[in-house]
């Protein structure tokens, strides 16, 4: 993607990529045909994240994050007339959806909210402080979590789909990071006024476990894998240039082999998790099982740390050609973008969640469940 370097240098939104996505109808691809979308299967969306990740990590992550919201609407909101209509609008106008699941008071735990849905004169409102929102300025709508009502527990949450015009956003901090600089994941204070019909019918507990968690981890992992794949392709070209026909394997060949071996293992993980999610479909028992939750969390943990290792090996294979910032062998942007994977959604928190569940894990007897 030609603009990828500019997006990185300027820490700006990847406008060019989004324009191309809209032209290709990609933002509505996962919406069922009945609502004007392409009805694309989940594996197609995952493959798209992988391909986009090879060109520009930021474009891939924006696409992935948008698809998480689409999946949530398609799987949990088609019982509501308002959301059916809005899905049709998304497909027709190629609207971009962002999410607002974090909050200053909850410390990164998306399954707890401080803010609550207030009701007055038949309208609802939510005021949420210190939320991290990616591409808020470019989003056409936002999926916002909050406690169901002022008297509700922290974990008793709902999700509201609000149009951008219904939201007041006050930026609190800039997004100037080592990598993933184009997602514009700034902190905001948010207040929204909307219609009660805009609250999704299913509880956020349901949406999170059955859809947001698996879709997030699989699509992000595919995007990160795309970055690593592109890095290996560049390293391969660099190593290839050193090859002398009839001579010994060129310098860097061993490192490149290791990088590719690990890349292949990570690709298998993403493929397996994708098939597992598609097989679970709407089987509530399967989706809520400890085995499934652990599997989806483990995918994120493994791929997020794995891609940094793969690109590190690719860098060693490339030598200076990879270390310099100019030239087509440069791997700096790839490495910097890959480092976001373990941080932007913190691995330590995910590991703690897994640890709390693992006593209930009964294992899998079959090799091919």
Partner 1 sequence: MSDLTDVQTIEDEIFEILDGVVRLRAQPRPLEPSDDLYAAGLSSLATVDLMLAIEDRFGIEFTTEWLNRRTFSSVAMLRQAVVALKENAP
Point out which residues bind partner 1 (CB under 8 A).
111, 153, 155-156, 205, 209, 284-285, 288-290, 293, 353, 356-357, 359-360, 362
Per the CB < 8 A criterion, the answer to whether 222 and 230 are in contact is: no
DSSP secondary structure of 116-142: B-EEETTEEEEEEEEEEETTGGG-SEE
- Give CA separation, 120 vs 124, 125, 195, 196, 202, in Å: 6, 8, 10, 10, 22
Q: Which of 27, 34, 44, 11 is nearest to 140 (CA)?
A: 27
Structure-block tokens of residue 141: 């709508």
Distance of CA 275 to the CA centre of its chain: 18
In the bound state with partner 1, the residue whose beta carbon lies nearer, of 137 and 153, is 153
Closest distance between partner 1 and the C-beta of residue 366, in Å? 11
In the bound state with partner 1, the residue whose beta carbon lies nearer, of 203 and 258, is 203
Closest distance between partner 1 and the C-beta of residue 359, in Å? 6
In the bound state with partner 1, the residue whose beta carbon lies nearer, of 151 and 328, is 151
Closest distance between partner 1 and the C-beta of residue 77, in Å? 20
Residues 6 or more apart in contact with residue 140 via CB below 8 angstroms? 90, 93, 95, 96, 97, 163, 164
Per the CB < 8 A criterion, the answer to whether 333 and 254 are in contact is: no
Closest distance between partner 1 and the C-beta of residue 284, in Å? 6
Q: Cα separation of 203 and 180, whole Å? A: 31
Q: How many other CB atoms sit within 10 Å of the CB of residue 163? A: 16
Q: Cα separation of 124 and 301, whole Å? A: 37
In the bound state with partner 1, the residue whose beta carbon lies nearer, of 6 and 205, is 205
Q: Cα separation of 261 and 145, whole Å? A: 40
Closest distance between partner 1 and the C-beta of residue 18, in Å? 35
Closest distance between partner 1 and the C-beta of residue 210, in Å? 11
In the bound state with partner 1, the residue whose beta carbon lies nearer, of 251 and 357, is 357
Closest distance between partner 1 and the C-beta of residue 306, in Å? 26
In the bound state with partner 1, the residue whose beta carbon lies nearer, of 104 and 205, is 205
Closest distance between partner 1 and the C-beta of residue 155, in Å? 6
Residue positions counted in the chain: 369
In the bound state with partner 1, the residue whose beta carbon lies nearer, of 127 and 291, is 291
SS3 of residue 314 by DSSP: helix
Rounded to a whole number of angstroms, the distance between the first and last alpha carbons of the chain is 38
In the bound state with partner 1, the residue whose beta carbon lies nearer, of 97 and 209, is 209
């Amino acid at each position: 993607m030609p603009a990828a370097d500019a997006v990185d240098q300027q820490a700006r939104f990847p406008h060019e990529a989004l324009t191309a996505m809209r032209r290709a109808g990609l933002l509505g691809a996962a919406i069922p045909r009945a609502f004007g979308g392409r009805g694309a299967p989940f594996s197609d969306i995952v493959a798209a994240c992988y391909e986009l990740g090879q060109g520009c990590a930021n474009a891939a992550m924006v696409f992935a994050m948008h698809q998480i919201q689409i999946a949530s609407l398609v799987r949990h909101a088609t019982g509501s007339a308002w959301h059916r209509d809005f899905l049709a609008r998304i497909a027709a106008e190629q609207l971009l959806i962002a999410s607002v699941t974090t909050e200053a008071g909850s410390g990164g735990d998306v399954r707890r909210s401080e803010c609550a849905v207030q009701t007055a004169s038949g309208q609802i409102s939510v005021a949420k402080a210190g939320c991290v929102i990616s591409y808020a300025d470019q989003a056409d709508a936002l999926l916002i979590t909050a406690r169901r009502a002022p008297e509700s527990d922290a974990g008793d949450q709902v999700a509201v789909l609000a149009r951008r015009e219904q939201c007041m956003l006050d930026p609190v901090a800039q997004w100037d990071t080592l990598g993933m600089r184009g997602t514009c994941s700034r902190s905001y204070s948010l207040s929204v006024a909307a219609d009660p019909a805009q609250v999704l019918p299913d509880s956020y507990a349901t949406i999170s476990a059955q859809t947001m968690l698996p879709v997030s981890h699989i699509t992000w992992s595919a995007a990160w894998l795309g970055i690593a794949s592109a890095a290996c392709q560049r390293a391969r070209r660099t190593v290839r240039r050193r090859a002398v026909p009839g001579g010994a394997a060129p310098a860097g060949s061993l490192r490149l082999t290791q990088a590719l071996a690990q890349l292949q293992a990570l690709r298998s993980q993403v493929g397996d998790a994708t098939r597992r999610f598609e097989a679970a479909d709407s089987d509530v028992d399967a989706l809520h099982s400890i085995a499934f939750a652990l599997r989806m969390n483990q995918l994120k943990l493994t791929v997020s740390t794995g891609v940094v290792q793969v690109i590190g090996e690719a860098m060693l294979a490339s030598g200076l050609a990879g270390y310099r910032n100019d030239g087509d062998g440069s791997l700096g942007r790839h490495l910097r973008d890959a480092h976001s994977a373990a941080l932007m959604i913190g691995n330590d928190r995910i590991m703690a969640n897994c640890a709390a569940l693992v006593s209930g894990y009964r294992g899998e007897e079959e090799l091919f469940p």
